[in-house]
């Protein structure tokens, strides 16, 4: 599909191809397609996460069908501040999730490890990880900087 579209685009935009080739059945629909539409846009993962976080402010009561509560603005802002710290430390962007009790979590997962950071109150976080079979976690840490053990796990 992409190959024939590329050929069509090339044939339609190339002035050196004579008209008899342009009218060939391969391009009978004469699809106009620019290369901008073909090349996928590079995502800025942190921007995507911030957009999703902002959308949590618009959640209605029972948003999940199970009496779900939206996170407080304090929890959303605490999460944003922590994500800014991650971004400034050049740590790859995590995935994000929300719970029905108004908590926000971010996580990284690959074949051998899992790291999760939870936000359930203003200016505090909890985290745990499992890396190479080692499990470690800490609860209710002040979010004034990256906890050393967490920073080491993310490196």
76-105 pLDDT per residue, tens: 999 999 999 999 989 999 999 999 999 999
Specify the pLDDT at position 29. Answer: 42
Q: Is 118 exposed, middle or buried (0-12, 13-18, 19+ CB in 10 A)?
A: buried
Res. 30: pLDDT tops 90: no
Q: Mean pLDDT lowest for which of 5-14, 22-31, 38-47, 126-135?
A: 5-14
pLDDT beyond 50 at 16? no
Q: How far apart are CA 125 and CA 105, in angstroms?
A: 9
- State the pTM of this model: 0.70
What gap in Å lies between CA 58 and CA 83, rounded to an integer? 20
Q: How many C-beta atoms surround the C-beta of residue 11 within 10 A?
A: 16
How many percent of the chain have pLDDT more than 70?
Answer: 72
Predicted pLDDT of residue 72: 96
Range in 26-30, 62-66, 68-72 the model is least confident about: 26-30
- pLDDT value, residue 149: 87
Q: Which two tokens stand for residue 4?
A: 């024939």
pLDDT at 31 over 60: no
| Whether pLDDT at 42 is above 50 | no
Q: In 3D, which of 83, 139, 71, 141 has the Cα closest to residue 107?
A: 83
């Amino acid at each position: 599909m992409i190959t024939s579209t590329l050929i069509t685009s090339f044939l339609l935009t190339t002035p050196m191809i004579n008209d008899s080739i342009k009218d060939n059945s391969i391009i009978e629909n004469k699809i106009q397609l620019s290369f901008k539409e073909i090349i996928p846009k590079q995502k800025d993962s942190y921007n995507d996460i911030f957009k999703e976080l902002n959308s949590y402010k618009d959640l209605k009561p029972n948003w999940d069908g199970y009496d779900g509560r939206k996170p407080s603005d304090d929890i959303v802002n605490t999460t944003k501040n922590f994500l800014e710290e991650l971004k400034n430390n050049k740590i790859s962007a995590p995935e994000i999730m929300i719970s029905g009790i108004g908590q926000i979590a971010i996580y990284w997962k690959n074949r051998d490890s899992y790291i999760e950071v939870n936000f359930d109150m203003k200016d505090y976080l909890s985290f745990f990880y499992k890396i190479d079979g080692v499990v470690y976690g800490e609860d209710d840490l002040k979010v004034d900087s990256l906890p050393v053990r967490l920073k080491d796990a993310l490196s």
